[in-house]
Chain A
Amino acid sequence: MTTPSFPPRNEPNLFWLLAISLALHMLVFVLFSGVLSGGKQHERRPVYYVDLTKMPVLNPQAGRPDGGPAPKAKAAAKPTAPAQVSQPTPQPAPEPKPSESKPTQVASKPTTPQPTATPQPTSTKPGLKPAKQDAKPSDSAPSGYQSVQEKMAAMRQSQQRAQELAALKGKIAALSGDDTSGSGSGAPLGMPDGTGDEIGVDQQTWLQAFYKENWSLSKYQVTRRDLQATVQVTYSADGTLTNYRFIDSSGDAAFDDSLKKTILKTKTLPFKPGRTLQFDVVFNLKDLMD
């Protein structure tokens, strides 16, 4: 008889089990911390600066909600404007009439900003024409061919100036933010995700900007800066506030009250949406205070 053999036990290594345990904890942490679903939950509309004097549209076109050109475009537009204004300066200085003072005024104006300079070339036109007409009788024997040529040159000049004037007017309108045609120097007025053909921002963006404009709360009334609340607002087709409710309260009574007051300021919209409007508005204290 021999002594029985017994194989060594293959008990699991505690180190590997610790690694498994760590992986399990990390999985639980990831699932419950909202990292996976965080992108969907915290997806918020960016805060746009909207011109509230322009009413929103139903199907906004693709463009920028602030409507105006980008700051870079503005900076680039400024030096070009005087250059274009200065163009007419050599032209309205005809040699035969050095006595006229108006062309010199135009020549001196290009240094000043564009809008005041632009009317100047037009004022020179009537001045030039009578001068030429006056010159005719003074010349004793001008040929008919020469006079026709001068007339044609004057006409071309006036046409050219009219074109330049129109272009300048367009640029000035674009700079002042009145360009709603989309052909200005900046991006056209619309929404970044716009697919429609109407010029303007959508109703939700407009309303958010309106709420921001009308919101007020003293910084001494809130104890924290990281407050955020989500409110669902509903407007009827004729623009009347029918319902609002807090989906997520901020937990701060003063902040929530300020939001209620802001929403109640818009019991009736200044425009008619044409359909029932219902959307969630995220009020972030940091955004509102900016």
Chain B
Amino acid sequence: MELIADAGLVVKLVLLILIGFSLLSWAIIFLKFRVIYGAIGDSQRFQQFFWNKRRLDAISKSLKDFPHAPTAVLFRDGYQELMRNQRETTSEEPALFSAELGQADNVARALRRATNQETQRLERYLPFLATTGSTAPFIGLFGTVWGIMDSFIGIGKTGSASLAVVAPGISEALVATAIGLVAAIPAVVAYNHFVSKVNVLTGDMDSFCQEFLNIVGRMLRRS
């Protein structure tokens, strides 16, 4: 506490910035924890439900039970696109093979768009954690360098270079690096953890898209 109180203005400003970084990064860590783990849990439950039910209309009615599952969003968008195409084909002549292929492409595009949207949602704010992890130590280091510069200026004025004179100034300056590391380490750990979880979810979404397109293709060929 005394170290912070005795520090210079620049060091105090650096400390304030680092505390701001730390506050925001922890808020994002809490947010991402809830969002990503909610998505993982709901996604697993939805896929289990999806493979058990096998009827698309029945599945579509139970989507509200899986509000955080990204695969449920993919299913909704793909199913909506499929329904839209079917409404259009029922009003006209029996569909040709090429038209069926066009329907499958539409569904694939809808699924790709939904995948992108969900990935973006899951990755939102994660770059801030990466920024905190990479820049906070440097910001802290800047405060330390500035503090040591001040300390040496003081030594030059007093003319004494004993350890008792040098040590307090350096210890005050090192507080900035310490707080920079305190802000950066959890941010880096959380970033790596969440990115790996998002990658798992993205892989799940890609797999689900392929499976869903296969099901749609089989349905179209049957009809």
Query: Which A residues contact B (CB, under 8 angstroms)?
Result: 1-12, 14, 17-18, 20-22, 24-25, 33-34, 223-224, 251-254
Q: Is the CB of A6 within 8 A of B73?
A: yes
State whether the Cβ of B72 lies closer than 8 Å to any Cβ in chain A. yes
**B interface residues, tally (CB under 8 Å):** 35
Q: Is the CB of B63 within 8 A of A4?
A: yes
Looking at the assembled complex, report how far the CB atom of A59 sits from the nearest CB atom of chain B, in whole angstroms: 39
Q: Which residues of B contact A252 (CB under 8 A)?
A: 164
Of the candidates A9, A21, A33, the one whose C-beta lies within 8 Å of that of B67 is A9
Looking at the assembled complex, report how far the CB atom of A22 sits from the nearest CB atom of chain B, in whole angstroms: 6
Looking at the assembled complex, report how far the CB atom of A256 sits from the nearest CB atom of chain B, in whole angstroms: 9
Looking at the assembled complex, report how far the CB atom of B149 sits from the nearest CB atom of chain A, in whole angstroms: 19
Looking at the assembled complex, report how far the CB atom of A68 sits from the nearest CB atom of chain B, in whole angstroms: 37
Q: Which residues of B contact A14 (CB under 8 A)?
A: 27-28, 31
Q: Which residues of A contact B60 (CB under 8 A)?
A: 2-4
- Measured in the bound complex, the distance between the Cα atoms of B181 and A202 in whole Å is 49
Q: Is the CB of A224 within 8 A of B168?
A: yes
Looking at the assembled complex, report how far the CB atom of B83 sits from the nearest CB atom of chain A, in whole angstroms: 6
A3-B83, A22-B23 as given contacts; A17 in contact with B31, CB under 8 Å: yes
Of the candidates A4, A11, A33, the one whose C-beta lies within 8 Å of that of B35 is A11
In the complex, given contacts A11-B34, A14-B31, A253-B162, what are 4 additional A-B residue pairs having Cβ atoms less than 8 angstroms apart? A12-B30, A18-B27, A22-B23, A25-B23
Q: Which residues of A contact B158 (CB under 8 A)?
A: 223
Q: Is the CB of B164 within 8 A of A223?
A: yes
- Measured in the bound complex, the distance between the Cα atoms of B114 and A4 in whole Å is 15
Proximity bits, B18-40, A CB within 8 Å = 1, else 0? 01001110111011001100000
8 closest A-B pairs (Cβ-Cβ)? A4-B60, A21-B26, A17-B27, A21-B27, A18-B27, A252-B164, A17-B30, A7-B64
Q: Which residues of B contact A20 (CB under 8 A)?
A: 27, 30
- Measured in the bound complex, the distance between the Cα atoms of B42 and A9 in whole Å is 12
Can you give 17 A-B contacts (C-beta < 8 A)? A1-B86, A6-B67, A6-B72, A7-B64, A11-B34, A12-B31, A12-B34, A17-B27, A17-B31, A18-B24, A20-B30, A21-B27, A22-B23, A25-B26, A223-B160, A223-B165, A253-B164
Q: Which residues of B contact A7 (CB under 8 A)?
A: 64, 67
By beta carbon, the residue of chain A nearest B79 is A4
Q: Which residues of A contact B23 (CB under 8 A)?
A: 18, 21-22, 25
State whether the Cβ of B80 lies closer than 8 Å to any Cβ in chain A. yes
Q: Which residues of A contact B163 (CB under 8 A)?
A: 253
State whether the Cβ of B218 lies closer than 8 Å to any Cβ in chain A. no
- Measured in the bound complex, the distance between the Cα atoms of B1 and A254 in whole Å is 25
Q: Is the CB of B80 within 8 A of A3?
A: yes
Q: Which residues of B contact A17 (CB under 8 A)?
A: 27-28, 30-31
Q: Is the CB of A6 within 8 A of B64?
A: yes
Q: Which residues of B contact A22 (CB under 8 A)?
A: 23
Looking at the assembled complex, report how far the CB atom of A199 sits from the nearest CB atom of chain B, in whole angstroms: 42
Q: Is the CB of A21 within 8 A of B57?
A: no
State whether the Cβ of B68 lies closer than 8 Å to any Cβ in chain A. yes
Q: Which residues of A contact B86 (CB under 8 A)?
A: 1
State whether the Cβ of B76 lies closer than 8 Å to any Cβ in chain A. yes
- Measured in the bound complex, the distance between the Cα atoms of B163 and A254 in whole Å is 11
- Measured in the bound complex, the distance between the Cα atoms of B68 and A5 in whole Å is 14
Q: Which residues of A contact B1 (CB under 8 A)?
A: 33-34
By beta carbon, the residue of chain A nearest B59 is A4
- Measured in the bound complex, the distance between the Cα atoms of B164 and A251 in whole Å is 6
- Measured in the bound complex, the distance between the Cα atoms of B29 and A25 in whole Å is 14
Looking at the assembled complex, report how far the CB atom of B73 sits from the nearest CB atom of chain A, in whole angstroms: 7
Q: Which residues of A contact B61 (CB under 8 A)?
A: 4
- Measured in the bound complex, the distance between the Cα atoms of B151 and A199 in whole Å is 53
State whether the Cβ of B167 lies closer than 8 Å to any Cβ in chain A. yes
Q: Which residues of A contact B67 (CB under 8 A)?
A: 6-10
Q: Is the CB of B57 within 8 A of A1?
A: yes
A12-B34, A18-B23, A251-B167 as given contacts; A6 in contact with B76, CB under 8 Å: yes
Q: Most A CB atoms within 10 A — which of B35, B67, B80?
A: B67
By beta carbon, the residue of chain B nearest A223 is B165
Q: Is the CB of B26 within 8 A of A4?
A: no
Q: Which residues of A contact B162 (CB under 8 A)?
A: 253
Looking at the assembled complex, report how far the CB atom of B31 sits from the nearest CB atom of chain A, in whole angstroms: 5
